[in-house]
């Protein structure tokens, strides 16, 4: 009987011929080579936290949960060698024990390192690049089972391709990452008038190491997460404040509100206003990995677009107006984050100061009309969709948005000439192997 697999949001499912669970690189390369010999396609999978069909296959799914070791740590240089399947929460905890940290993180830490890097997962902060920019080197298992060593010195093009690969080059078994000395963060979450925050956005983003805006639909309020790095000692929030913020409002309250909103879509604007009244000021001062990552227990689906930073306010205002004007039954905030440019060929922040605009809808609710309307807005800014989040683009629409597109495709054609690591998603967003090379 075929195995079954589904993603975190439980909206993408497949029945692969088999799921391989290698415990080390040798087993991984045997598993990949065996699949290729049998003519089966291969897809690597991390924690299944992508919302797209990027991991689905009826061939062989390679799950690296058994490959989570930290192999080498050099606290002096900050260079750390790890197995690619390591989960971010485990990696962050291990780094902390060595006096190190990840330079920046997104808002959860359940992902595998390889999965997060493959889709250009990012946090926020105009001086920081997405996580893949800190990859110094990696080891990639190709369809023949051969292991290729990749770093900038050996081959800059392959290195720029492998840092954000959408799993289309092979299965990465190990990374060498540049980490930073451990640091603490002082973060203040508070509700503020949207006009005040958006009117002063550039100054607020510049004044904080990490600044994020959560625009609350159907209200004139935004919740801001404003973080500064600090040497002050950790003072974790009180138990009641943490419970109210993390459990009662962000999870139980949001889940209940969304459930009610599905039953009574017409009441959503009123529910949204009531919800906003429950949000209070919340402060954290703790080690970076404890402040960056939060629990997300309400299952949802998401679309996120990377656009040039200069359009951030206009794009967010247009999405807020879309939700308000159409009275869309949306309760999740519209999220706005920032990163610095980098040079990975498929990084969503390739070559430009970037703002990320994300919209969410609770799982099981209709999302497509809303997401398509948001996508139409983002198209006007040459938006690049997050590779792990929903979008409706194709290779034809994406190619012009990535200056390094052909360079990536050339590396792909060299490393995976037979298209063993292709599935429907990869075919749709990257096209067939070699198609773009003329």
Ligand X SMILES: Cc1cc2nc3c(=O)[nH]c(=O)nc-3n(C[C@H](O)[C@H](O)[C@H](O)COP(=O)(O)OP(=O)(O)OC[C@H]3O[C@@H](n4cnc5c(N)ncnc54)[C@H](O)[C@@H]3O)c2cc1C
Taking a C-beta distance cutoff of 8 angstroms, is the pair 323, 357 a contact? no
Tokens of residue 306, six digits: 């990377």
Applying CB under 6 A, does 354 fall inside the site for ligand X?
no
Closest residue by Cα to residue 357 from 421, 312, 295: 312
Residue with nearest beta carbon to ligand X: 115
Q: Are strands 13-14 and 5-6 parallel, antiparallel or unpaired?
A: antiparallel
Among positions 42, 60, 84, 150, the unique one binding ligand X when judged by CB under 6 A: 84
Q: Examine residue 333 and tell whether it contacts ligand X (CB under 6 A).
A: no
Q: Which residues contact 224 (CB under 8 A, 6 or more apart)?
A: 188, 189, 190, 192, 197, 204, 211, 212, 213, 214
In 3-state terms, what secondary structure has residue 358? strand
Residue with smaller CB distance to ligand X, 129 or 269: 129
The nearer residue to ligand X, 269 or 388, going by C-beta atoms, is 388
Helix and strand element counts for the chain (H, E): 15, 20
Judged by beta carbon, residue 50 or residue 219, the one nearer ligand X is: 50
Shortest CB 389 distance to ligand X, Å: 6
Both tokens of 302, joined, read: 């998401």
For residue 61, give the 3-state DSSP assignment: strand
Contact pattern from residue 375 through residue 394 relative to ligand X, giving x for each residue in contact according to CB under 6 A and a dash for the rest: -----------x-x------
How far apart CA 327 and CA 370 sit, in angstroms, is 11
User: Residue holding tokens 């999978």?
Assistant: 45
User: Closest separation between CB of residue 300 and ligand X, Å?
Assistant: 7
> 5: helix, coil or strand?
strand
- Check binding of 121 to ligand X (CB under 6 A): yes
**Pick from 14, 31, 35, 45: which binds ligand X (CB under 6 A)?**
45
Nearest distance in Å: CB 269, ligand X: 25
Considering only 91-99, 103-111, 192-200, 318-326, which stretch makes contact with ligand X by CB under 6 A?
Answer: 103-111
| Token pair 């087993």 in the structure block, residue | 27
The residue with tokens 């889940």 is 255
- For 74, other C-beta atoms within 10 Å of its C-beta total 13
DSSP state of 237: P
CA 115 – CA 119 distance, rounded (Å):
7
Number of residues that bind ligand X (CB under 6 A): 33
Candidates 118-126, 181-189, 206-214, 399-407; binding stretch for ligand X (CB under 6 A) = 118-126
* 202 near ligand X, judged by CB under 6 A: no
Please tell me whether residue 250 binds ligand X under the rule CB under 6 A: no
- Within 8 A by CB and 6+ apart from 236, the residues are 242, 284, 285, 286, 290
- Is 166 one of the binding residues for ligand X (CB under 6 A)? yes
Residues 279 to 298: which contact ligand X by CB under 6 A? 296
Rounded distance between C-alpha atoms, residue 53 and residue 64, angstroms: 18
Q: Which residue's CB is nearer to ligand X, number 142 or number 276?
A: 142
64 near ligand X, rule: CB under 6 A: yes
Segment contacting ligand X by CB under 6 A, of 38-46, 150-158, 189-197, 210-218:
38-46
- In the complex, the residues that contact ligand X under the rule CB under 6 A are 8, 43-50, 54-55, 64, 84, 106-108, 111-112, 114-116, 118-119, 121-122, 165-167, 171-172, 296, 386, 388
């Amino acid at each position: 009987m075929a195995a079954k697999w589904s993603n975190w949001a439980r909206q993408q499912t497949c029945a692969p011929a088999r799921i391989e669970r290698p415990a080390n690189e040798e087993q991984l390369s045997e598993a990949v080579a065996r699949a290729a010999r049998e003519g089966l396609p291969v897809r690597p999978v991390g924690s299944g936290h992508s919302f797209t069909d990027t991991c689905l296959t009826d061939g062989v799914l390679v799950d690296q949960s058994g490959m989570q070791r930290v192999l080498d740590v050099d606290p002096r240089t900050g260079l750390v060698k790890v197995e690619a399947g390591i989960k971010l929460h485990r990696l962050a905890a291990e780094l902390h024990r060595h006096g190190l940290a990840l330079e920046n993180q997104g808002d959860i830490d359940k992902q595998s390192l390889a999965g997060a890097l493959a889709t250009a997962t990012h946090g926020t902060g105009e001086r920081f690049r997405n996580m893949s920019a800190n990859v110094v080197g990696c080891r990639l298992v190709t369809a023949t089972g051969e292991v290729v060593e990749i770093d900038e010195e050996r081959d800059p093009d392959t290195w720029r391709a492998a840092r954000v690969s959408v799993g289309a080059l092979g299965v990465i078994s190990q990374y060498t990452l540049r980490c930073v000395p451990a640091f603490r963060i002082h973060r203040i979450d508070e509700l503020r008038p949207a006009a005040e925050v958006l009117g002063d956005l550039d100054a607020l983003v510049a004044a904080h190491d990490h600044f994020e805006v959560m625009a609350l639909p159907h209200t004139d309020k935004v919740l801001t997460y404003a973080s500064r790095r600090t040497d002050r000692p950790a003072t974790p929030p009180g138990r009641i404040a943490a419970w109210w913020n993390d459990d009662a409002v962000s999870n139980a309250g949001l889940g209940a509100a969304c459930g009610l909103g599905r039953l009574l879509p017409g009441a959503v604007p009123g529910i949204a206003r009531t919800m906003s009244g429950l949000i209070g000021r919340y402060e954290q001062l703790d080690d970076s990995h404890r402040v960056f990552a939060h629990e997300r227990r309400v299952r949802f689906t998401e679309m996120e677009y990377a656009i040039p930073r200069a359009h951030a306010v206009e794009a967010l205002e247009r999405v807020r107006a879309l939700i308000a004007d159409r009275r869309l039954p949306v309760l999740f905030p519209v999220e706005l984050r920032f990163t610095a440019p980098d040079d990975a060929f498929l990084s969503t922040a390739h070559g430009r100061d970037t703002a990320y605009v994300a919209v969410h809808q609770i799982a099981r609710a209709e999302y497509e009309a809303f997401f398509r309307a948001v996508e139409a807005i983002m198209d006007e800014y040459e938006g690049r969709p997050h590779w792990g989040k929903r979008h409706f683009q194709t290779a034809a629409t994406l190619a012009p948005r990535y200056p390094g597109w052909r360079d990536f495709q050339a590396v792909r054609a060299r490393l995976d000439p037979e298209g063993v690591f292709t599935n429907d998603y990869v075919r749709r967003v990257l096209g067939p192997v070699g198609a773009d090379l003329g």
